A = this chain, B = another copy of it.
Amino acid sequence: MESIDTELAARIRHDIVLGNYGEEERISEARLCDTHNVSRTPVRLALRMLEHEGLIRRSEGRGYFVNAPKVNDVLQAVQVRGHLESLAARLMAQSPGRHNTLPILEAAIDEIDRLVSAGTMNDVSIRAMQKQNAVFHKTILDCCGNDFIGFTCSRISHMPMLEVGAMVFDRQVLSTKEGKERSNFRLQLGNSQHKVIFEAIQSGDVVRAEGVMREHSNTMVEYIKVFEKRNEELTIKDLIGYSGISVTRHERAETAQETVI
């Protein structure tokens, strides 16, 4: 378990993203102290953290104000993350030592293929796919030769759907049979992009690796935009972000909690 302030920051962040605080609401240290039963020290550390992330802003002399992110912010962030991933793909495609890690990518692709073919779009299988998806994307970030890319990505993933390898679903879409089929198709399409990326990296086709990865990331942007078009007042709350880190090299037990947001 992390220290109190980290966990506290996560809770407040969760509340802000979920919209429990209302736009522009004032947020006071004292309030947080007694709602979460902690002292002011960890509260201040947590608030500093959130300020750094842009989720709250500290007014010159007087208190903190919520800066609730909108769907558009998520879109922008996903675009940035995708662009960084495309750089990673390009660098990995021109890295001489890439062949050692290619099997990891291949295994992830195969596993997703297997899960998609099964067609059981339940929570367990989706989480399994998400895990493999995260493996695929994280591996590219880790093995591209520029550690700063992964570092930057980790700094900007304040929300579950911004984590590398996260998958986003509409909250309602998974409840209907037709929606499940559509989602399944989407995943199938995504994995075929994975295959192209894999081949481009393997053969050292830097341009293609970068381009397809960009397109791959753009898919999520387009997907969310479709929601936006269908539902005028879409909020972040309406999206389900399947995230959950895993496969750290410390081999810690899978902390893939459900981050429904």
Q: Is the interface of A mostly helix, strand, loop or mixed?
A: helix
Which B-chain residue is minimally distant from A52 (CB atoms)? B52
| A28, CB-defined interface residue at 8 Å | no
- Given the contacts A52-B52, A155-B155, A156-B155, A149 and B80 also touching, CB distance less than 8 Å: yes
**Which residues of chain B are within 8 angstroms of A76 by Cβ–Cβ distance?**
146-149
**Which residues of chain B are within 8 angstroms of A80 by Cβ–Cβ distance?**
84, 87, 146, 148-149, 152
Which of B44, B45, B73, B148 is A148 in contact with, Cβ under 8 Å?
Answer: B73
- Count of A interface residues, CB-CB < 8 Å: 23
User: Measured between alpha carbons, how far is A147 from B54 in the docked complex, in Å?
Assistant: 12
| A151, CB-defined interface residue at 8 Å | yes
Q: Which of A81-115 contact B (CB under 8 A)?
A: 83-84, 87
| A200, CB-defined interface residue at 8 Å | no
| A79, CB-defined interface residue at 8 Å | yes
| A49, CB-defined interface residue at 8 Å | yes
